[in-house]
Amino acid sequence: MRRHLFLLAVSFFLLSGCATYQETQRIQNDLNRKTAILDEKISEKTADMTKDLENIREELRIIREQLQPLKEANEKLYNDIMNLSKWRADQSADLTPLRYQIQQLIGASEKFQKDISTIMAKETRLSEDLKNLQGKIDESKNVSTRYNERANKIDSLEKSLGLEIKTDSPEEGKKSAKPDTASQRGTQKEPPEDKDSNYAAAYETFKAGQYEKARVAFQNYIKNFPASEYADNAQFWIGESYYLEKRYEEAILEYEKVAANYPKSDKRPSAKLKQGFSFLALGDKSSAKIIFGQIVSNYPNTNQARVAKNKLVKMRK
C-alpha cells in the first residue's frame, strides 16, 4: 500500500514536470514518517483493545461464578417442582387446581431461566439492598432480644422472690378463687372484651420495659374498670413499675394501695414483700424488719412468708 502511494506521488510530480529527486526523496521520507506514526498508534490501540478484552474476559468469568449458585438454585427448584408434580400425579383425588398451580410454577421457573441475564445486571443493586435488609433484620433481632431480656428479668425477679405471680394475661387464664368484686360492690360488670384487652395491652407494655407508659395504662384501667377482678393486679404492677425504675418511695406508696383498696386481693402478700425490699433498697432496715415480720405473722405458709423469714435471718447476722 505504501509503495503504491509512493509511486503514485512520484508519477504525479514527474508528469507535472516540476518534481525533482530531492522532492521525491522528501515525499518518501514524509510518507515513511507518517506511516511509522500510524503503525505506532495502531500498535497502542491494539494493546489497549487486548487489555480491555482481558478485562472483559475476567468480568465474564466472575459473572459466571456468581451465576452458578443461581443456576443450581433454579435446578433444585425445578427438580422439587417436578418431584411434587410426580407425587401428586399418583393421587386419586381431583388435582386439577393443584396441577394448574404446578404448571404456573414450572412456567415461572422457565421464565426465571430467561431472566438470569437481567438478574446479573441487577446483582450489585440487589447486594446492596440485601445488606440494608440484613441491617434491619439485625436491628429487629436486637429489639426482640431486649424485649425478651426485660420479660425474663421480670419473671426471674418474681420467681426469686417467691411471689407466685399468676399468668396475668386475660387471654391465657382467669384468676382462680377470686371473688366477684363487681357483685360485692353492687356495680355492673364491664364488658369483658374491653377490660381484658385493656389489661392485656397494659401488661404487655410493662413486660416490654416501657414502665412509664405501662403505669399510665394501668392507672387508666383502674379508673375505667374499678370493679374488675384485675384492678388489684393493675395496682400491684404500678408499684412494680416504680420499683424497677428504682423509685422506691413511690413504689412503697403504690404497694400500700393494694392492701388498702383491695383487702381480699391475693396480691397483698406480694405487695407487702416488695414494700420490705423497697425499704431495704432505701437503707431503712428497721422498717423492712417490721414489714417482713408482718408478712410472717399475717401470711404464714406462703412463699412470701418464707422469703421474708430468710431475709430476717440474714438481717440479724
Alpha-carbon gap, residue 317 to 314, rounded angstroms? 5
Q: What is the mean pLDDT of the chain?
A: 78
Alpha-carbon gap, residue 107 to 87, rounded angstroms? 19
In order, the DSSP letters of 251-285 are HHHHHHHHHHH-TT-TTHHHHHHHHHHHHHHTT-H
Contact call for residues 230 and 221 (beta carbons, < 8 A): yes
Residue 245: its pLDDT value, please?
96
Residue 182 has a CB neighbour count (10 Å cut-off) of 17
What pTM, to 2 d.p., does this model score?
A: 0.46
**94 — alpha (psi -120 to 50), left (phi > 0) or beta?**
beta
Q: What DSSP character marks residue 300?
A: T
Residue position matching grid coordinates 491494539:
46
* Residue 277 grid cell: 425490699
Residue 28: its pLDDT value, please?
82
pLDDT class for 71, splitting at 50, 70, 90? confident
Task: Using the predicted structure, report yes or no on whether residue 274 has a pLDDT greater than 70.
Answer: yes
* Residue 46 grid cell: 491494539
Closest CA to 258 of 235, 231, 278: 235
Contact call for residues 219 and 238 (beta carbons, < 8 A): yes
Q: What DSSP character marks residue 191?
A: P
Residue position matching grid coordinates 386419586:
92
Residue 117: its pLDDT value, please?
64
Domain residue ranges in the chain:
161-316
Residue 96: its pLDDT value, please?
64
Residue 170: its pLDDT value, please?
47
Helix (H) or strand (E) holding 194: helix 192-207
Residue 276 has a CB neighbour count (10 Å cut-off) of 26
Topology of the domain covering 161-316: 1.25.40
